[in-house]
Amino acid sequence: MVEIEAVRGKGAREDNNRRIPENGSPVKIHAHNFSFFYGDHLALRNVSLEIRHNQLFTIMGPSGSGKTTFLRALNRLGDLIPNTRHEGSLKIDGTDVYDSRTDIAELRRNVGMVFALPVALPMSIFSNVAHGPRMQGVRHQKELEEIVEKALRDAILWDEVKDRLSDNASRLSGGQLQRLSIARVLALEPEIILLDEPTSGLDPISTLRIEELLWELVERYTIVLVTHNPLQAARIDSRTAFFLMGELIETGSAYDIFTRPKDKRTEDYVSGKFG
Ligand SMILES: Nc1ncnc2c1ncn2[C@@H]1O[C@H](COP(=O)(O)OP(=O)(O)O)[C@@H](O)[C@H]1O
Ligand SMILES: [Mg+2]
């Protein structure tokens, strides 16, 4: 059994999962018997879960368990892959994301996605963050400057880059680049932020900074973090779901999942028997 006390960060955030009762805040994301197919391949099977407003929700599981598929469904990036289909429902604020009336561009602005490998656009730090708002029609330089500064402050990157906003973004370190990716998402003022293994390419210090940042951001956003690393799930110590081969095996506080898993498969995973 993983010694959760040893890996929990300073001041474990009990408020986000254990102390607040499950009905503490309204449901933001609701999957009900949600299944997803690539051709004949069933990648998610009857997943039902609820993620609440301003909740940091961690999805952990080994490679191939359907974590990315679930995130991609939430902003319909899966639509870009031919021959895919879904069953069941997947709602945000009570509306099915697959409803024919869904405005997909608006959905993708509202549900921002941060990927494993941070990719800087080949332009300045400033323009990387301003790019999204510009595409959305923000033209005034002053307004763009305000948006960029706020996004960079919120991503805890501002102090490191404020004197070199016109430098090419490719000169940033890996950890800085990943915070820049987060700033780019924040500049679009989303309500939900999805992060797909955002620290997999980062060193331990940069990883901790991102994990701390998530706990700041969750004051204002609903965050879904995907990790294939159970130690990260334990450190983050948020509400956690365990996915395995397309199924949701169990959901609970990280504390419960790591100290008293209900399912033998969860126990085997968190104790490192497979991964
Ligand atoms: N674009 C795709 N085309 C076909 N199958 C896919 C595609 N993406 C993922 N899959 C399959 O769906 C399953 C779940 O994959 P994925 O959601 O990427 O898992 P995870 O993110 O947990 O590693 C795997 O069996 C994978 O091979
Ligand atoms: Mg994945």
Q: Please give the full DSSP string across 134-169, using - where no structure is assigned.
A: HHTT---HHHHHHHHHHHHHHTT-HHHHGGGTTSBG
84 CA from centroid of ligand 1 (Å): 11
pTM for the structure as a whole? 0.92
38 lines ligand 1 (CB under 6 A): yes
What pLDDT score does 53 carry? Answer: 95
Give CA–CA dist 224/51, Å, rounded.
8
Q: Is 79 in the pocket of ligand 1 (CB under 6 A)?
A: no
Evaluate: CB of 133 within 6 angstroms of ligand 1.
no
Cβ pair 188, 212 in contact under 8 A? no
Give residue 23's pLDDT.
55
Length reported for the chain: 275
Rounded Cα gap, residues 227 and 58, in angstroms: 7
How far is it, in rounded angstroms, from Cα 37 to Cα 48? 16
Q: Where are the domains of the chain?
A: 4-22+53-80+103-240+247-270
Pairwise CA distance, residues 126 & 183, whole Å: 10
Pocket test of ligand 1: the residue of 60, 69, 83 to mutate, having most ligand atoms within 8 Å of its CB, is: 69
- Is there an atom of ligand 1 within 6 Å of 206 CB? no
CA 117 to chain centre: 14
Which 3 state secondary structure label does DSSP give 27? strand
Q: Whose CA is nearest to atom 1 of ligand 1?
A: 81
User: Crossing angle, helix 125-135 and helix 174-186, to 10 degrees?
Assistant: 20
Kindly give the distance from the C-alpha atom of residue 129 to the centroid of ligand 1, in angstroms, as a whole number.
Answer: 30
Q: Which ligand is nearest to the CA of 43?
A: 1
* pLDDT, tens only, 165-200: 999 999 999 999 999 999 999 999 999 999 999 999
* Angstrom distance (rounded) from CA 36 to CA 155: 32
Atom of ligand 1 nearest to the CA of 226: 21
> Which pair of tokens denotes residue 192?
């939900």
Maximum Cα interatomic distance, the chain, rounded to a whole number of Å: 57
Q: Which helix (H) or strand (E) element contains residue 267?
A: helix 264-270
In this prediction, residue 86 carries a pLDDT of 97
And the tokens for 88? Answer: 């069941």
Structure tokens that stand for 181 in this block: 């990716």
User: Which two three-digit tokens encode residue 29?
Assistant: 């994301």
pLDDT below 70 — which residues of the chain?
Answer: 1-23
The CATH code that applies to domain 4-22+53-80+103-240+247-270 is 3.40.50.300
Q: Is any ligand 1 atom within 6 A of the Cβ of residue 37?
A: no
**Atom of ligand 1 at shortest range from CA of 66:** 17
